Amino acid sequence: MEQLKRFIRKYFQSFSFFYSHLKHRVFIVVGLSIVIGILDGFGLSLFLPLLQIVDNPESVEPESLGNLRFLVDFIENSTIPLNLLTVLGFMIFFFFSKGAVQYLAGVYKVTVQQWFIKNLRLKNIHGLNELKYSYFVGTDAGRIQNTLTGEVDRIANAFQNYFFALQYAILVSVYTIFAFTIDSVFAILVTIGGILSDLLYKNLYRYVKSTSRSLTGETNFFQNLVLQHVGNYKYLKATGTLEKFSSKLEKSAVKIEKRNKKIGKLNALLGSAREPILIIVVVTVIYVQINFLGSELGPILISLLFFYRALSYLMQLQIRWSKFLSFSGSMENMASFGRELKVNKESVKANRISIKSIEMLEMDKANFSYGNQKVLNNISLKIEKFETIAFVGESGSGKTTIVNILSGLLPLDSGSYYVNDKNIGDIETESFQQKVGYITQDPVIFNDTIFNNVALWSPETEENKTKFWNAVNEASILDFVNALPNKENTVLDNNGANLSGGQKQRISIARELFKTVELLILDEATSALDSETENIIQKNIDALKGKYTILIVAHRLSTIRNADRIVLMKEGSTTVGTFNELLTKSKYFHKLVELQEI
């Protein structure tokens, strides 16, 4: 069984991709297509006895149908007389039944497609949520955005074209089998001609697939540039470098246009050349069979009717397959993205412990590296509930890394990290992180109302409204919200463009207070603010001291003078003490204080 799976994955990658998501639904689509072909084939087969009855009402030759003579035998052996009305009635029955099944197949295919796309989106979203943070920070943001948005739409097109191609391939096979049962010589000759024509298209298909793959790569790159363009718009605008950066976007857009045009031209060539080639094959075979092989025209015409059906669907198959290949690069990207999400998923132990409160945090002989660069070297640190701990040191000393570890975002390379004397790996991460508030120098502001920015889309119940107003009051932004025409229902611009830096920070603080967190992390929370605003925010933070366990990452030492303890970080090692203790025992800290003229 495992060998069969490997064989399918290797030689039927597209089928394997869809089957991995759709399971038995693939075979239902295939089964309905087979039923459609058989019903249509039975209906078409009755054209030969119909022609014979029209020519001579008293004479029908079942042998002319070859292996399909059982259709005429069935009618003759029943109590129904074999005449013109009987044959027409059976033809109507078969074609009506085919139409009904075709309708059901169409509805089922649309239902499956929408279910597939919905599940693909949800699977990717859940996979992204479960991704290791350490892997996420090194990924291409443009690729993630493109895969979750544009690529899903391309996969929807790939699905549609693939299953149309699959349906047409089944119908081609069914009609070819019917043609063989009536006139095998004619069928063999036409099949040989069809195979020869397919060889002409092989290299074109390979070229379309290669172009699709490069199109996906360029689209990922374009999405990444768009993210940078939007994220850095203010800087680019202020420094007059928008046009310079836009030229990169323009070049990428031109490349995407060229690749799309190339794929479109190839699809047009594949679609327009197929029918003339096939007609030449059919005409040649009929001429050879009648003039050199002495075959009768009647069976040839019915066999030709089947082949005409088969060739029509073959042309549609080629067109659909060509279009499918133009989206194949997106499928490869989606499959690769799915594997990456699975491989880099956070490992979760069974029967983990849910914590009710954060009483203590402790790191014991902790080590962490980024590649070959050692960031934390044998660090031990214990933090009690309601303590305010500050982390200081030069850039790259590991301040943000250590708070990311303490918040559960990054795992240690070696050593231990305990929450309430329980190893972090034994704790239910969500129950811990729901008690963590995180405020950075770039506040997170959603393009939504102030209420939703603070309450994170909690229902607007009376209880939540009370919590909201208490939070904005404690964050010293109550007067600002009340002064707005729509108050808490005011919609904030993207990234808080209609707010000052201080207002954005206070909304971020209010959000964490609304969540009733126990551990509050402030990572350079005031470093991007002017001195006056920084002092106001600092007073807000000082007012929270003793109510929360607070971890502060700071460059400005004046903001952490009142911390219970300060962790001085340098070259992977730490020195711990109060502000005054570090002034006495650390020359490095004393130098930092002098440089900042505190």
Is the four-CA dihedral 192, 196, 199, 204 of positive or negative sign? Answer: negative
User: Which residue pairs, CB below 8 angstroms and at least 24 apart, start in 189-198?
Assistant: 189/285, 189/288, 189/289, 190/281, 190/282, 190/285, 190/307, 193/278, 193/281, 193/282, 193/284, 193/285, 194/278, 194/281, 194/311, 194/314, 196/281, 197/274, 197/277, 197/278, 197/281
Instruction: Label each residue of 262-285 as H, E or C.
Output: HHHHHHHHHHHHHHHHHHHHHHHH
| Cβ proximity of 322 and 267 under 8 Å | yes
Chain center to CA of 234: 29
How many C-beta neighbours within 10 Å does residue 577 have? 16
What is the pLDDT of the chain when averaged over all its residues?
Answer: 80
Average pLDDT over residues 298-305: 68
What would the pLDDT profile of 172-203 be if each residue is shown by its tens digit?
A: 888 878 777 776 776 677 667 667 766 766 77
What would the pLDDT profile of 568-595 be if each residue is shown by its tens digit?
A: 988 888 889 988 888 888 888 888 888 7
Say how far apart CA 450 and CA 447 lie, in whole Å.
Answer: 9
Q: Give whole-number Cα distances, 157 to 110, 165, 270, 317, in Å.
A: 12, 12, 18, 15
**More confident: 65 or 230:** 230
Say how far apart CA 326 and CA 289 lie, in whole Å.
Answer: 39
Which of 215, 166, 151, 124 is CA-nearest to residue 19?
A: 166
Instruction: Considering only the C-alpha atoms of the chain, give the largest distance between any 2 of them, rounded to a whole number of Å.
Output: 120
130-134, 278-282, 414-418, 531-535: the lowest-pLDDT one:
531-535
Q: What's the pLDDT score for residue 306?
A: 75
Beginning with the edge strand found earlier in the chain, give each strand of the sheet holding 573-577 in spatial order: 436-440, 519-523, 549-553, 388-392, 565-570, 573-577
Q: How confident is the model at residue 465 (pLDDT cuts 50, 70, 90)?
A: very high
Q: What's the pLDDT score for residue 73?
A: 63
pTM of full prediction above 0.75: no
User: Which residue pairs, CB below 8 angstroms and at least 24 apart, start in 588-592?
Assistant: 589/392, 592/392, 592/557
Q: Say yes or no to pLDDT of 316 above 80.
A: yes
Q: Say yes or no to pLDDT of 7 above 60.
A: no
3-7, 45-49, 369-373, 500-504: the lowest-pLDDT one:
3-7
Q: Say yes or no to pLDDT of 363 above 90.
A: yes
Q: What's the pLDDT score for residue 183?
A: 67
What is the Cα gyration radius of the chain?
36
Cα–Cα–Cα angle for 233, 235, 239, rounded to 5 degrees? 120
How many C-beta neighbours within 10 Å does residue 118 have? 11
For every residue of 142-197, DSSP letters joined together read HHHHHHHTHHHHHHHHHHHHHHHHHHHHHHHHHHHHHHHHH-HHHHHHHHHHHHHH
Average pLDDT over residues 247-267: 81
Question: Which domains occur in the chain, in start order?
Answer: 12-343 (1.20.1560.10), 360-595 (3.40.50.300)
Q: How confident is the model at residue 467 (pLDDT cuts 50, 70, 90)?
A: very high
Say how far apart CA 195 and CA 206 lie, in whole Å.
Answer: 17
